[in-house]
Amino acid sequence: MRRFKIFALVSCIGLLFLSACNSSSENTTIKLGEVTRSLFYTPQYVAIEKGFFEEEGLDVELQTTWGGDKTMTALLSDGIDVALVGSETSIYVYAQDSKDFAVNFAQLTQTDGTFLVAKEEHPDFTWEDLKDSNFLGQRKGGMPQMVGEYVLKQHEIDPHNDLSLHQNIEFANIPGAFLSGDYEYVQLFEPTASVFEKEGNGHVIASFGEESGHVPYTVFMAKQSYIQDNKENIEKFTKAIYKAQQWVDETDSTEIAETIAKYFEDIDIDILTSSIERYKSQGSFATDPILDEEEWNNLTTIMQEAGELPEGEISYDELVNTEIAEDVINK
């Protein structure tokens, strides 16, 4: 009887020890909302598929929130913890005197991700060709459209007077509208641009990313309060993203495509590969998560040119946190 009691006691202690171990090893869940599903966000999917988040003790629940407004609404209402969205959205929220505004803490992409696609071949293309054309643009106030207008102005083209600019089509419907309409040019992301080329429905003739330079195009952000209350988890999150950025930078585009193919089941692997290579070759994927002030100033210049920069001071020091990313890189 005594032997049984000792055995039972040892068994209970063992179970308690295992329970404690399991409890301490439980991962922290972070709800992540991406503004759209895009090959442009390749390092994010790599961080998930290569287990970089898990290595940091995080379970990242990814959801696509479809649009900047919906993404920010989800973030501010605590529907998500972290948002992957254009950094201009943090400026719009800040300008509304939000008490708990969104802070950019890790940059994912550092150029515009759209390409100029024409229905007809243009072997000797110049930007002057766009004058008097029928151009299908992106949503007013969004980064693709603002960058598009900025690039046109750099080439001395007034986007609202020198061509017929259309901005009334929802983002998801732009490719179909271009195919069925009488538009001559359109701004498209990859892999849609490459699919159009492969199917003979369009020709990539220029890159808005190459033309506009470095901007904090897509950034991870969270509410001020969330970062303050969860600084360790935000640092772990940033560390996983940095691992993914370095892996993408050092890895062949074919292997990258194979790693993230499950996120783009309807796209052939050769298209994924060539699209990733196109983004890599123009430096679209940031190789570290730091959003520097020069990039930020380029963003505000582009917004100013588009007439979308809110009045008042737009503080880099308040809206951007580089300390976390710097700590991650320097460890």
Give the closest residue to 223 by CA, choosing from 126, 321, 102, 116.
102
Which one, of 207, 297, 235, lies nearest residue 57 by Cα?
235
What's the pLDDT at 318? 96
95, 81 in Cβ contact below 8 A? no
Picking from 277, 272, 244, 216, the residue whose alpha carbon sits closest to that of residue 45 is 244
Predicted local distance difference test score (pLDDT) of residue 331: 87
- pLDDT (tens, 9 = 90+) of the chain, 331 residues, equals 444 344 343 444 444 434 444 434 589 999 999 999 999 999 999 999 999 999 999 999 999 999 999 999 999 999 999 999 999 999 999 999 999 999 999 999 999 999 999 999 999 999 999 999 999 999 888 899 999 999 999 999 999 999 999 998 988 899 999 999 999 999 999 999 999 999 999 999 999 999 999 999 999 999 999 999 999 999 999 999 999 999 999 999 999 999 999 999 999 999 999 999 999 999 999 999 999 999 999 999 999 999 999 998 899 999 999 999 999 999 8
How far is Cα 273 from Cα 251, in angstroms, rounded to an integer? 12
* Residue 3: predicted pLDDT: 44
Task: Return the pLDDT at 8.
Answer: 42
The label of the residue with tokens 């991406």 reads 34
Query: 202, 282 in Cβ contact below 8 A?
Result: no
76 — phi, psi (to 5°)?
-70, -25
Edge-to-edge strand ranges of the sheet holding 58-64: 58-64, 28-34, 82-85, 218-223, 102-109
Pair 278, 256: CB distance under 8 Å:
no
Residue corresponding to tokens 């898990």: 54
pLDDT computed for residue 10 by the predictor: 41
Coil, strand, or helix at residue 283? Answer: coil
Distance CA 120, CA 127 (A): 15
* Domains recognised in the chain with CATH numbers: 28-111+215-330 (3.40.190.10), 114-212 (3.40.190.10)
Q: Measured between alpha carbons, how far is 142 from 153 in angstroms, rounded to an integer?
A: 17
pLDDT of residue 25: 58
Sequential DSSP letters for 28-50: EEEEEEESS--GGGHHHHHHHHT
Alpha helices in the chain (DSSP H): 2-24, 42-49, 52-55, 68-76, 88-95, 143-154, 174-180, 192-198, 208-212, 224-229, 231-250, 253-260, 269-281, 293-305, 316-319, 323-330
321: closest CA among 105, 110, 108, 107?
A: 105
